[in-house]
Amino acid sequence: MIKATVLVPLNIRTGKPEILPNNNIGDKFYNEGDVIEVAEGAMGENYKGNNLWYKLVDGGFVWSGGVETSGSPEHINQLAGSPFSAIINYSKDAFNSIPLNVKSTKGIGVKIAVIDTGINKDHPSFNNDPIIQLISNVTSSPAGVDDKNGHGSHVAGLIGGRSVIQTGIIGIAPKSELLIIKGIDDDRSTSATNINLALKLAIDAKADIINLSLDIANSRFNLIESEINRAIGEEIIIVAAAGENNRLIENGNLFCPANKAGIIAVGSCDDSFIRSQQKFNPKVNWIIPNYSFWSSYNKTKTYETERGSSMATALVSGLVSLIISFNKTKKLNQIINLLNISSLPLSQFSTNETSLLNPLK
């Protein structure tokens, strides 16, 4: 629960979150300056480009644009929905070591296949953008490509969220083309057979990058090996989650398929682990600090924070798209070299900065 102050005369809807034609005719009514108690966020009818509503502790809904919350993001994150006071712009504010002329491309012209739990395409951070293509659902979920879980929407938001309203998410590459393939079930369980089908679809759709914020058992790699090799042969860049902290050390057990040749492996580490002077597995390409990143979510939770190598992988996929867009290259070694030039050694890590860290630099 958080307290919020009413900014304008505001209707309260006790039935469902929808706009009424005039103020002071709702089921209830608040005046400017009234203090209300918010229980959670919810998606409702769009008004002035904002369809985030607040459900009140004592019941009913009010439009979020008409109130001002005072809680910190961490506090607000305990709610079912997570409102923002401003746009979170990863494209602008993260990875300050990446040259501005590279970041300014925003990934235009690059196709990124996101193999995950689907997407909440009605989310304001995606704005029903026509270059977000819903390719297919290869799972048994009756929801189709719709993201019931939230993980896929979170990953897609970090890569290419493109909010055009006053609150929301702008991803690393907001002008990239997202190819959404639902290959992970609604409960986040992963089937190598489904991932193989999803990889085939991504390759056939001519993706430039395939984002794999997922892992499978090493013993099941043989089920996807042929499509992985086909993607590499067609110069499609595969970015995969390698794991967190101890998984990344020299003798650690990296996630599969990030542990395989020809795949960019991305890990995530806590601040103390980054400073621990561990010797890292030479297969790990980059590390992102293990922070809780805000991003888009499902229809129940409008925004949410998540952490781990899934999120780190999404951020690096966005960075790879910037390199492809700017340098017009799809050669894996060239992309790695170009990003390594802009990456930071672990010794230059600064707390609370989203940086591209090279564990071998």
Residues 309 and 314: their CA atoms lie apart, in Å, by 8
pLDDT of residue 74: 38
pLDDT of residue 70: 53
SS3 breakdown of the chain: % helix, strand, coil, rounded to 5?
A: 25, 30, 45
For residue 93, pLDDT over 50 is answered with yes
Higher pLDDT, 302 or 28: 302
Higher pLDDT, 219 or 128: 219
Nearest partner of 262 among 332, 317, 185, 309, judged by Cα: 332
Q: What confidence category does residue 81 fall into, taking pLDDT thresholds of 50, 70 and 90? A: very low
Residues 149 and 163: their CA atoms lie apart, in Å, by 21
Alpha carbons within 13 angstroms on the beta-carbon side of residue 231 total 31
* Segment 95-104 mean pLDDT: 96
Residues 262 and 231: their CA atoms lie apart, in Å, by 10
Q: Which residue matches tokens 């929808």?
A: 18
pLDDT cut 70: percent of the chain above it:
89
For residue 116, pLDDT over 50 is answered with yes
* pTM score, whole prediction: 0.79
- Mind listing the pLDDT tens digit for each residue in 228-258? 999 999 999 999 999 999 999 999 999 999 9
pLDDT of residue 83: 40
- Mind listing the pLDDT tens digit for each residue in 143-198? 999 999 999 999 999 999 997 666 678 899 999 999 999 999 999 999 999 999 99
Cβ-contact 331, 323 below 8 angstroms: no
Q: What confidence category does residue 261 fall into, taking pLDDT thresholds of 50, 70 and 90? A: very high
Q: Give the residue ranges of DSSP H helices in the chain.
A: 73-76, 90-93, 100-103, 151-160, 192-204, 225-233, 271-274, 309-327, 332-342
pLDDT of residue 341: 96
CA diameter of the chain = 67
Query: DSSP character for 207?
Result: -
Residues 163 and 153: their CA atoms lie apart, in Å, by 13
Nearest partner of 31 among 10, 12, 13, judged by Cα: 10
Least confident of 69-83, 304-318, 343-357: 69-83
Higher pLDDT, 350 or 318: 318
- Using alpha carbons, list the distances in angstroms from residue 254 to 201, 248, 270: 26, 6, 16
The mean of the pLDDT values for the chain is 88
For residue 128, pLDDT over 50 is answered with yes
Highest mean pLDDT among 12-21, 57-66, 319-328: 319-328
Highest mean pLDDT among 41-55, 127-141, 297-311, 316-330: 316-330
pLDDT of residue 26: 52
To the nearest 10 degrees (0 to 180), the angle between helices 192-204 and 225-233 is 20
Higher pLDDT, 58 or 234: 234
For residue 72, pLDDT over 60 is answered with no
Tokens of 199: 């990889």
For residue 216, pLDDT over 70 is answered with yes
Q: What confidence category does residue 64 fall into, taking pLDDT thresholds of 50, 70 and 90? A: confident
* Encoded amino acid at 254, one letter: L
Residues 40 and 250: their CA atoms lie apart, in Å, by 44
Cβ-contact 87, 24 below 8 angstroms: no
For residue 102, pLDDT over 80 is answered with yes
pLDDT of residue 50: 65
pLDDT cut 90: percent of the chain above it:
64
